[in-house]
Structure 1
Amino acid sequence: MPMRAVVRVRWLGLSGLLWFAVAGAQVPGQVHLEERVEYYPIHGQDLRELAVQMQLHGPTHVSTGRQSAGTTLWSISWSHRLEMRDGRCALDSLDIYAAIRTTLPRWDGDRGNGPTVREWRRYLSSLRLHEATHVQHGREAAEATREAMLAVPPQETCALLARALQRAAQGQLRRYTRLTRRYDALTDYGATQGVRFDF
């Protein structure tokens, strides 16, 4: 009778300011994505007041512990079933779950077409663009994690296979965590993309 083991593991990856598998394709399972955007309210009459509001009420950057204008957090977990076949433990099914949450400011004065409103909209558009790349990193991390796990060959025992799958997954997740941090460094946390006010 085949022996099976089901495991569920979770990994958190953070993006910056803004904070923070192809072999074995016959294995059933898929990548499940859940993406959402949340907003925090800010108030003010001019750009300086809005900047202060974001510093006071924005999400906390996990690396610095300071408030930031926006963040993207992705977390990846997986569940798999292992099965003994012909004296070797093999991957029988694999599902990857990616939860990606972006947090952005929402200004209650975003109406009309005055210079402050126009600059706010430009800023927010740049912030969205910056965070969209962090979202893409989360999606790619999920796909790369699945591919790496599917590429792990059968092992002598299911305990050995479970450890090998864990190492393969963590290798990809560390890779994408480094990538998202490097992206923040290269863009100065979005400043080079327009995530700054022109006072």
Structure 2
Amino acid sequence: MTWWDVALKSLVGGFIVSIGVASAQDDIIHNITEVRYDFESNALQRAADLMLEASPIIESGEPKAADVNADWKLSVSTEQHEDGCRLTNVSVTLNTEMTLPNWADVEEMNAKIQAEWARYLAALRMHQDGHVEINLNTAQEIKAALLAMEPFETCEALKAAAGMTTATLQAEAEDAHAAYDKKTKFGARQGAILKRKR
């Protein structure tokens, strides 16, 4: 029996870990951590600009308010049988980092502005949760596809095929992330736009 590990990264970028939550879904190990970056603003009208100025997330040269980063770990065991080498166990671990903004002095604003910030932050989080769901679905698809693989003559050939299958499913996930952002206008259609006046 042999064990091998493959470290994989999703297309969606990320930043720093601060808080951890672990969960398991259909034998997929999912560890999610969250980090907040601070910004200050004395007016709602300036909050969006100041938030982006403070954001550590840069994509294609432009700052983003929030982001999800996923690191994958795939562990597989193989056994050589008379009919060839088979996968006997597949374990997928998904480590997610979600970065969100924190308006550090929002409590100094009036109740309407605080409510608008809370609404915006909830919508932004909902959009990021959609990216997390895509990655979780992909993790399940990877595990199912690998467990369904037919025996190969050698374990090396099986490992290579498993790696190609995993890479293909991850490429499809990257396309799904892009389609999700296009459909939601990067969360704008889900309400992730900070209104300028309240």
The two structures share one fold, judged by TM-score above 0.5: yes
Per mean C-alpha deviation after superposition, the further-off stretch among 33-42 and 85-94 is 85-94
Unaligned runs of 5+ in 2: 15-25
2:28–2:139 CA contact under 8 A, matched in 1: yes
Counterpart pick for 2:80 among 77, 84, 90 = 84
In structure 2, the residue matched to 1:33 is: 30
Distance in 2 separating the partners of 1:59 and 1:178: 24
AA at the equivalent of 1:141: T
CA RMSD after TM alignment? 2.0
AA at the equivalent of 1:160: A
Q: What does the per-residue CA deviation read over 1:99-155, in whole Å, with 9 as the maximum and x for residues that have no partner?
A: 111100111223265332221111111101111111111211111110111111110
Q: Hey, which bits of structure 1, 4+ residues long, moved more than 3 A?
A: 14-17
Distance in 2 separating the partners of 1:120 and 1:144: 36
AA at the equivalent of 2:135: G
Counterpart pick for 1:53 among 19, 39, 50 = 50
Larger RCO of the pair (alpha carbons < 8 Å, separation 6+): 1
Q: Give the TM-score taking structure 2 as reference length.
A: 0.85
Q: Would you say 1:174 and 2:171 are equivalent positions? A: yes
In structure 2, the residue matched to 1:156 is: 153
Q: Would you say 1:134 and 2:135 are equivalent positions? A: no
1:42–1:106 CA contact under 8 A, matched in 2: yes
1:88–1:156 CA contact under 8 A, matched in 2: yes
In structure 2, the residue matched to 1:115 is: 112
1:148–1:172 CA contact under 8 A, matched in 2: no
Q: Would you say 1:96 and 2:92 are equivalent positions? A: yes
Tell me the matched-pair count: 184
Distance in 2 separating the partners of 1:84 and 1:16: 39
Give, in angstroms, the shift of residue 61 of structure 1: 4.1
Distance in 1 separating the partners of 2:63 and 2:42: 21
In structure 2, the residue matched to 1:143 is: 140
Higher percent of residues as strand? 2
Counterpart pick for 1:187 among 160, 184, 187 = 184
1:59–1:71 CA contact under 8 A, matched in 2: no
Unaligned runs of 5+ in 1: 18-28
Distance in 2 separating the partners of 1:178 and 1:90: 30
Distance in 1 separating the partners of 2:192 and 2:13: 13
Distance in 1 separating the partners of 2:163 and 2:88: 15
Give, in angstroms, the shift of residue 181 of structure 1: 1.1
2:77–2:88 CA contact under 8 A, matched in 1: yes
In structure 2, the residue matched to 1:65 is: 61
Distance in 2 separating the partners of 1:113 and 1:145: 48
Per mean C-alpha deviation after superposition, the further-off stretch among 146-155 and 108-117 is 108-117
2:83–2:151 CA contact under 8 A, matched in 1: no
AA at the equivalent of 2:62: R
AA at the equivalent of 1:46: A
Distance in 2 separating the partners of 1:37 and 1:101: 6
Per mean C-alpha deviation after superposition, the further-off stretch among 53-62 and 83-92 is 53-62
